[in-house]
Amino acid sequence: MRERTDGRETTVVTEVRINPLVDVSREELTAIAGGPLVRVERIDGGLTNTIHRVVRASGEVLAIKHYAEGRDAFDAELVTLTLLHGTLPVPEVVTAAPEAPAIAYRWIDGITFNECRRNEPPTAFASLADPLGRLLAWLARTDATEPFELASILVTTDEQLARGRARTRIGGPLADTFRRAFDKFAPLLAFGNVCLVHGDLGGRNLIVQHAQRDRWRIGGVIDWEATSTGSPLLDLGSIFRYADRYDAKFREDFERGYREADGTLPDNWLNMSRLLDATWVVDMLDEARELPGVFADCKMLLAKLATDLGT
């Protein structure tokens, strides 16, 4: 995948398929959908699971997701979609098949946030800043089901940077830079009330729709199997992981929408959220598998963040 940043083309490879596609027959899809299908199409957008868009004989359009990582991911998403339905724009569950495991939910029309950024006029993408801020402020107010153990996360991250595969892959100087950064800014990373966090809130998982003229809206938030409990900065950091995709005006409009929806943000919220998100980047770098392209991209993200932090 290629991204254009400040007029230069850079390769972005953390957005690559993580698990092989699940082999699903038409008969299995028909059984989960609960009736005859007139159309079946596999969707390429997912990186972890296998998703089909199916049309029933009645004309109803469904998405059927098979979970490559098993029942835990299935259970997490089913519980979260049930909890948030009617509160946030999440998919409506039609049927759940734990034996597969798979969930069928009503298809949400639109394109992804990433596709809007790449293919629509700049004004279209810019119009999403305010509603995106409001969406994350609403999510930050959801009740947490478990405590957020930031200290244990930072201990693990420090171990990975001190002696793990992450240190080997990015080199001692950059690893030590982030060990110091996490130590220095740890008190700021626990900002906000503990809340439900999406866990993988990026441009692939936001479905956007044209509203009117040059205005767009957020029509759905999908892929909740990585949901957890934590600081609202976690989802902020995930959204802004590739910070150069968003100009100053986008960030200003996002912040205004967030605050107007009664969300609170710390000083330097952009870099603090990216630093908290960097614990995920370091964890990826500590993978046992050899993923050289992914690791190169992760190192690029950390180097850019280190520069922005002034460390």
Quickly name the fold that domain 2-106 has.
Phosphorylase Kinase; domain 1 (3.30.200)
Per mean pLDDT, which range of 10-14, 94-98, 193-197, 202-206 is the poorest? 10-14
| Cα(230)–Cα(165) distance, integer angstroms | 26
Does the pLDDT value for residue 256 go beyond 80?
Answer: yes
**HEC letters along the chain:** CEEEECCEEEECCCCCCCCCCCCCCHHHHHHHHCCCEEEEEEECCCCCCEEEEEEECCCCEEEEEECCCCHHHHHHHHHHHHHHECCECCCCEEEEECCCCEEEEECCCCEEHHHHHHHCCHHHHHCCHHHHHHHHHHHCCCCCCCCCCHHHHHHHHHHHHHHCHHHHHHCHHHHHHHHHHHHHHHHHHCCCCCEEECCCCCCCCEEEEEEECCEEEEEEECCCCCCEEECCHHHHHHHCCCHHHCCHHHHHHHHHHHHHCCCCCCCCHHHHHHHHHHHHHHHHHCCCCCCHHHHHHHHHHHHHHHHHHCC
| Cα(127)–Cα(277) distance, integer angstroms | 25
Question: Which pLDDT value is given to residue 96?
Answer: 97
Q: Domain residues of the chain, as ranges?
A: 2-106, 111-309
Does the pLDDT value for residue 103 go beyond 60?
Answer: yes
Question: Which pLDDT value is given to residue 19?
Answer: 65
CATH class for domain 111-309? alpha beta
**Which pLDDT band, with edges at 50, 70 and 90, does 224 fall under?**
very high
Question: Which pLDDT value is given to residue 146?
Answer: 78
Does the pLDDT value for residue 16 go beyond 90?
Answer: no
Sign for the CA dihedral angle at 132, 302, 197, 144 comes to negative
**Which pLDDT band, with edges at 50, 70 and 90, does 5 fall under?**
very low
Does the pLDDT value for residue 108 go beyond 70?
Answer: yes
State in Å, rounded, how far the first CA of the chain is from the last one. Answer: 30
Average pLDDT score over residue span 296-306: 97
Question: Which pLDDT value is given to residue 68?
Answer: 86
Residue 186 neighbours by CB distance under 10 Å: 14
Q: What pTM value is reported for the model?
A: 0.89
**Which pLDDT band, with edges at 50, 70 and 90, does 192 fall under?**
confident
**Which pLDDT band, with edges at 50, 70 and 90, does 13 fall under?**
very low
Interval 156-180: pLDDT, tens: 999 999 999 999 999 999 999 999 9
